Amino acid sequence: MKNTVLRYGFYGFLTAAILFFIALYFGQGLSFKTQKIVGYATMVASLSFVYFGIKHYRDHELNGEISFKTAFIVGALISIFTAIGFGLIDVIYITKINPEFSEQYLAYNYDLLDARTDLSLEDIKFEKLSLQKQSEAFENPIVVFFIMTMMVFVIGVIISLLSALLLHKKE
């Protein structure tokens, strides 16, 4: 199991890094909304190695049989590697590549709030204060690493569950 988890976890990590830097290079003029979509697509593409890792383990190590529990564990372990990769890449991005990201994203969210007509001025002030607090937290690389890692891991667990459901096979 160890070799499969390490191999497919590394593939997920590598795919995350490559897709992140491709998106960074080609997506510089894109809106934050489009960048979010690209980011989630990158997460899902990188976590697709969960499915392939479970399938490989079942077919090559376990002679075509795998329990749901074992399939889920393999998938979750692969997800951890990909999640840590995303966390590291995100920290590199906000500390080295674009240290102004927090302020840019805060300004973007402020503009979205200012455009809303369904909120009172008091509600907008409250929301802006809340966004400011979040933005301050995201200036800490440890917080960014933890949040991004956990977000990708949660998506990885969902993909692990779905993959385990599809791939578990007992005779």
Q: Please give the single-letter amino acid code of residue 117.
A: T
CB 74 within 8 A of CB 2: no
DSSP letters for 106-164:
HHHHHHHHHH-SSS-HHHHHHHHHHHHHHHHHTTSHHHHHHHHHHHHHHHHHHHHHHHH
User: What domain range is 67 assigned to?
Assistant: 2-167
pTM, full prediction: 0.83
pLDDT in 10s for each residue of the chain, 171 residues: 889 999 999 999 999 989 888 887 777 777 778 888 888 898 999 999 999 999 999 999 888 899 999 999 999 999 999 999 999 998 998 888 888 877 888 888 788 777 777 777 787 788 888 888 888 877 888 998 999 999 999 999 999 999 999 998 776
CB 60 within 8 A of CB 171: no
Q: How many domains does the chain have?
A: 1
Among 89, 80, 101, which residue's Cα sits nearest to residue 152? 80
Angle between helices 68-92 and 32-56 (to 10 degrees): 140
Report d(CA 29, CA 4) in Å as an integer.
Answer: 38
What lies within 8 Å, CB to CB, of 117 at 6+ separation is none
pLDDT score of 48: 93
Q: Is 66 helix (H, G, I), strand (E, B) or coil?
A: strand
Q: Phi/psi class of residue 121: alpha, beta or left (left: φ > 0; alpha: ψ in -120 to 50)?
A: alpha
